[in-house]
Structure 1
Amino acid sequence: MSARGLFVTGTDTGVGKTRVAVALIEALRAHGLRVAAMKPVSAGSMPGELNEDVVSLLQAANVDADVRDVNPYAFAEPVAPHIAAALAGVRIELDVITAAYARLAAKADVVVVEGAGGWRVPLNERADMADLAQRLDLPVVLVVGLRLGCLNHASLTAESVVHRRLQWAGWVGNHIESTMQQGAQNVAALRRLLPGPCLGIQEFIEGDVSAQKSWHWLTLPKYISRS
């Protein structure tokens, strides 16, 4: 797999992983790179329709790819991946995802992979999202949902990433609430607690965040932006 890539994970579900993944894709494209997107597992879409996160990623990427490679596992029920798979009578296989990633990597300079849920959400009875990131061997971008409790969640996730000896690309703070008490102080604490670097802080966006195309608040990891 010759393409470089990034694995976008989060401190929880609903913290803005797709928003950040799209911004990363837009920034990478602005550097003249061919960027493929991948959402290995999605949950919460009507039969015959694409998951809204997958649609956003496809619209942002500039590499034509089979949607079955972009989103190998798509489930209707908006629940944890292993539960959604069981309800559909399917077992999520890391080998299937890895093969799809390899096909995307063959076409692209960079592949941005967005995980589902948080870092340790189960995929099957043995493997979780962290195992997938380890299998793909991609640098990790952690999206921190800026709300009460984020310091604990971010610290534990970062500790797990480091424990697995995966490359740490950086973290992004995402304001998911219109107001957060002591927001600046929490961001300052995250800068001290996390390995760094901070790639950007996304302000709260009201309304349809998919319509927001600006990526200029974001800084790419240095090893990508300088290559």
Structure 2
Amino acid sequence: MTFFVTGTDTDCGKTLISSALLTAANGETVGFKPIASGCEQTDKGLRNSDALALMAASSIKLPYEDINPFAFEAAIAPHIAAAEKGVQLAPKRIEALLKMSEYVGADFCLIEGAGGWRLPLGEGHFLSEVVQSMNLPVILVVGMKLGCLNHALLTAEAIKADGLNLVGWVANQVDPDMANQEENLAALKEMMSAPCLGYVPYLTNPTAEHAASHLELSVLL
């Protein structure tokens, strides 16, 4: 199965949760990060910490360029970074690159988005168009902080409006001092139509293994 992982916003913990999902899954696993900005220049070329984390959590080992085909050094919106480099983030090109996931023999495959659901690609296109074209089931990471109820519900509505299936969501505590955390989590569980795959508390030393211990994937498989 292949899933697309999106989030309520930037820095909601998509990579931690994606890595945890890969760690918790059975069989052969692989995670992709098709677009990433904020990469570091290394002797092997541009490298993104999120993509490297997905590679570390995947049992199937692929070349970095297959995992993260569009890498940009500037930590800015990817479509702006791409325009500055003269790169076109065409949905069909991204889809063609991602279809390799069908041929690597993965039992559990994740494609992690960038930013939130409606990530611009430029020229009026959005990354969500690729998810639509591939008809991928979606997993939503909810960054637990003030405003998360609105962000989560609006994102879920947008996914549904795009004709896609939100198969599950994960509550990831990004603000350790969030007021009324338990009440907010209870409200989300009541209002979200998709099942909750787990609540990951604020981790001072976050690891994929620790986060994975808080997840339940049985509803996905």
With normalisation by structure 1, the TM-score equals 0.91
Structure 1 letter corresponding to 2:37:
A
Structure 1 letter corresponding to 2:147:
G
Structure 2 letter corresponding to 1:173:
A
Once the 2 structures are TM-superposed, how far is the Cα of residue 221 of structure 1 from its aligned partner? 5.0
More strand by share: 2
Partner-residue secondary structure (3-state), 2:83: helix
Q: Deviations over 1:140-186 (max 9, x none)?
A: 11001111011111110000111112121111101001111000010
Tell me how far apart the structure 2 counterparts of residues 57 and 49 of structure 1 sit (CA, whole Å).
Answer: 16
Is 1:25 equivalent to 2:22 in the alignment? yes
- The residue number in structure 2 matching 1:9 is 6
- The residue number in structure 1 matching 2:71 is 74
Aligned pairs for 1:1-227 (under 5 A) are 4-28=1-25, 31=26, 33-47=27-41, 48-107=45-104, 108-207=106-205, 209=206, 211-214=207-210, 215-220=212-217, 222-224=219-221
Tell me how far apart the structure 2 counterparts of residues 64 and 212 of structure 1 sit (CA, whole Å).
Answer: 17
Q: Deviations over 1:41-81 (max 9, x none)?
A: 00001232410001100001011223222111000111111
Tell me how far apart the structure 1 counterparts of residues 67 and 153 of structure 2 sit (CA, whole Å).
Answer: 30
Q: Which runs of 5+ in 1 are unaligned?
A: none
Contact 2:92 2:130 in 1 (8 A): no
Partner-residue secondary structure (3-state), 2:11: coil
Contact 1:36 1:105 in 2 (8 A): no
Structure 1 letter corresponding to 2:10:
T
Structure 2 letter corresponding to 1:184:
E
Q: Aligned Cα RMSD in Å?
A: 1.3
- Deviant stretches of 4+, over 4 Å: none
